[in-house]
Every structure is written in C-alpha cells, then in structure tokens.
Amino acid sequence: MARQTSRHTKAMSTKRGISRGRSPHPPSECSDYPELSEPYIINRFDVFPTFHLSRTLEKDQQRSKDTNMLNNALKTLAHNLSDTASTEKRAAVEDLFWLIQEYRVSVYAQELRTSVPVSLKKLKKMIKHIERMV
C-alpha cells in the first residue's frame, strides 16, 4: 500500500513539474505575475472549474445589460426634460442618477455598501413614475 501511495505521489509531482529540480512556476518572461497566468493555473490543477467561470460571466453580462438599460432610460429622461419641466421632475431625474450610481456599487462592489437600499425593481418603478410626471 505504501509503495502504491508513493508511486501515486511521485506521478502527481512529476505531472506538476515539481520533481527533478524543475520549478512548478512557468518562466518569468510570461508575465509580471507568472503564478496568475492562465496556462499555469490550468496545468497546476487537475480539474479547472470552468463551470464557475461561465456562471460568473453570465451574471456579469446580465448586470451589464441592466446597468445599460438604466443608463439609457436616464439619458432619455434627461434629454426629454424641457424648459417647462417642473422642479420636482428635475430633482427626480437627479435622484435617479444618484440611485443608479448606488445600484452600480451594490452590484459591482458590495463590500463598499450603499448609503440607501436600492434594487433594479425600485429603479424601474422610479423611471415609470418620472415618465408620468409633468
């Protein structure tokens, strides 16, 4: 049993390039941080969790679509503000701008925390409310 374990350990270390005096790190000319270079990560681990990467990318794409939709709605509201628009509507558009910024923080930098609770649902509701204002 000990011999099989030893053989397995030796095979794993050879696969990773640890035995025979070779460094497990790629040559330093790959990048400033060779331990973060993609080939090294894939070769270092037996199974690279690509399903986590694809799930994260899907979430980021959805977040990007949501923030783009909010930005487009804000641009439309700001562009359609006329000289006769009420001060309440102008203040609401400005509030919407700052709430969209807070939403970005809540989505992309959760550790910073937001000063007010904000969600996509609340922002969509606010946009509809502003569109009905005079």
| Residue listed under structure tokens 């919407």 | 96
The vertex-103 CA angle with 61 and 97, nearest 5°, equals 115
pTM for this structure?
A: 0.60
Amino acid 119: pLDDT: 95
Over residues 91-101, the mean pLDDT reads: 96
pLDDT at 20 over 90: no
C-alpha to C-alpha distance for 78 and 65, rounded to whole angstroms: 20
Higher pLDDT, 55 or 124: 124
**Confidence tier at 104 by pLDDT (50, 70, 90):** very high
Over residues 43-68, the mean pLDDT reads: 77
C-alpha to C-alpha distance for 126 and 118, rounded to whole angstroms: 11
Q: Give the residue extent of every domain in the chain.
A: 2-44, 50-132
Question: Do 121 and 109 contact (CB within 8 A), yes or no?
Answer: no
Amino acid 77: pLDDT: 94
Kindly report, residue by residue over 28-41, the tens digit of the pLDDT: 444 555 555 555 55
C-alpha to C-alpha distance for 6 and 88, rounded to whole angstroms: 76
**Confidence tier at 110 by pLDDT (50, 70, 90):** confident
